[in-house]
């Protein structure tokens, strides 16, 4: 079981600030991209890559490494920023997001990008791929773990629920899923497009060990991971309540920022806010939810 010290907590917060700035920077340079979901998912990915997962940039294909599938592939700027920071490829490559001949396109490509375990972006398919990885680890008698990050709009896809039944059927307790539940999808509020509530009860009814956390609180996220690792006989779903566009005031909870690049003035304002802010410690959800683990 891991416990985050005050020092580690501060380090994670500052790392997230740096990486959120990288996300805004690369999307501005590209002139296109998905800032809202990249900013909302950042704290989940920071915890996994800097405190939880067994990975090695110097040997990125070693057999018993942990695996992460970013099923919501359009949020890849967050993943790219982390992989560059961890040394999987040069940081300078971030400036080439979505450019001709760049390895960093609008969705992750496992054939071209070191550290990317699955080509994603066709929403609804990442959980199925993660199931296969978890089953393979079992057949290998490996202790490696598999993580998958889903979007809230994405789980309206039927294939997600087929994959959910499969994971429960095979009792894949080496699989941990995170749901980046920021409440917004490309067409508006998730609750208006196709409500998924009662969400916790739904995942439980499909046979998953299900938790709900504040997706911007590292201690809450870490407790969720600890409970997932200690639970045997079923996969774990960690529903992380987040804020779309987290850390940039004019992007937060705004559907318009699902997929567009900031203007020069917006870019500069976003960087100032991220420089002067705290990097997402306090959670103020869209429905009054305070993110307590349950």
Per-residue confidence (pLDDT) for residue 279, from 0 to 100:
40
Per-residue confidence (pLDDT) for residue 166, from 0 to 100:
98
Q: Where are the alpha helices (DSSP H) in the chain?
A: 6-30, 35-47, 76-85, 126-139, 158-169, 190-194, 199-205, 218-230, 264-276
How far is residue 17's CA from residue 199's CA, in Å, rounded to a whole number?
Answer: 30
Per-residue confidence (pLDDT) for residue 241, from 0 to 100:
98
Per-residue confidence (pLDDT) for residue 1, from 0 to 100:
85
Instruction: Single out the residue of 69, 13, 7, 68 nearest to residue 42, CA to CA.
Output: 13
How far is residue 225's CA from residue 207's CA, in Å, rounded to a whole number?
Answer: 18
Sheet of 67-70: strands edge to edge? 67-70, 146-151, 175-181, 236-241, 209-214
Q: Which residues contact 161 (CB under 8 A, 6 or more apart)?
A: 155, 206
CB 80 within 8 A of CB 70: no
What average pLDDT is seen over the chain? Answer: 94
Per-residue confidence (pLDDT) for residue 281, from 0 to 100:
38
CA 227 to chain centroid: 18
Cross-strand pairs, 175: 146
Which pairing describes strands 184-185 and 188-189: parallel, antiparallel, or unpaired?
antiparallel
Per-residue confidence (pLDDT) for residue 84, from 0 to 100:
98
Burial class (CB in 10 A: 0-12, 13-18, 19+), 139: exposed
Token digits of residue 31: 């002139």
Per-residue confidence (pLDDT) for residue 292, from 0 to 100:
33
Cis peptide before 83 (omega within 30 of 0): no
Residue with tokens 């590292």: 218
Left if phi > 0, otherwise alpha if psi is -120 to 50, otherwise beta: which for 121? left
Per-residue confidence (pLDDT) for residue 276, from 0 to 100:
85
Low-confidence ranges of the chain (pLDDT < 50): 278-294
Instruction: Single out the residue of 177, 186, 185 nearest to residue 212, CA to CA.
Output: 177
Sorted by where each starts, the structural domains of the chain and their CATH numbers stand as 6-276 (3.40.50.970)
Per-residue confidence (pLDDT) for residue 278, from 0 to 100:
45
């Amino acid at each position: 079981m891991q416990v985050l010290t005050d020092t580690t907590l501060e380090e994670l917060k500052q790392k997230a600030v740096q990486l959120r700035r990288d996300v805004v920077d690369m999307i501005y340079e590209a002139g296109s991209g998905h800032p809202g979901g990249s900013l909302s998912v950042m704290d989940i990915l920071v915890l996994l890559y800097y405190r939880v997962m067994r990975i090695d940039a110097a040997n990125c294909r070693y057999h018993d490494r942990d695996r992460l599938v970013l099923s919501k592939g359009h949020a890849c700027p967050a993943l790219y920023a982390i992989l560059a920071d961890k040394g999987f490829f040069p940081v300078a490559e971030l400036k080439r997001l979505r450019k001709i001949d760049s390895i960093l396109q609008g969705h992750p490509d496992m054939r071209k990008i070191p550290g990317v375990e699955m080509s994603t972006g066709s929403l609804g398919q990442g959980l199925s791929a993660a199931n296969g990885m978890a089953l393979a680890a079992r057949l290998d008698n490996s202790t490696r773990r598999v993580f998958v990050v889903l979007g809230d709009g994405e789980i309206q896809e039927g294939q997600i629920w087929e994959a959910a039944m499969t994971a429960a059927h095979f009792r894949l307790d080496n699989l941990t899923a995170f749901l980046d539940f920021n409440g917004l999808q490309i067409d508006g509020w998730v609750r208006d497009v196709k409500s998924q509530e009662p969400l916790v009860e739904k995942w439980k009814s499909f046979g998953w060990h299900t938790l709900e956390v504040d997706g911007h609180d590292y201690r809450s996220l870490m407790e969720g991971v600890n409970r997932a690792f200690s639970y045997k006989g079923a996969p774990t779903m960690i529903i992380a309540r987040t804020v779309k566009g987290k850390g940039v005031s004019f992007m937060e909870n705004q559907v318009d920022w699902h997929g567009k690049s900031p203007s020069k003035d917006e870019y500069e304002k976003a960087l100032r806010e991220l420089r002067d802010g705290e990097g997402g410690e306090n959670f103020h959800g869209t429905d009054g939810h305070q993110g307590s683990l349950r």
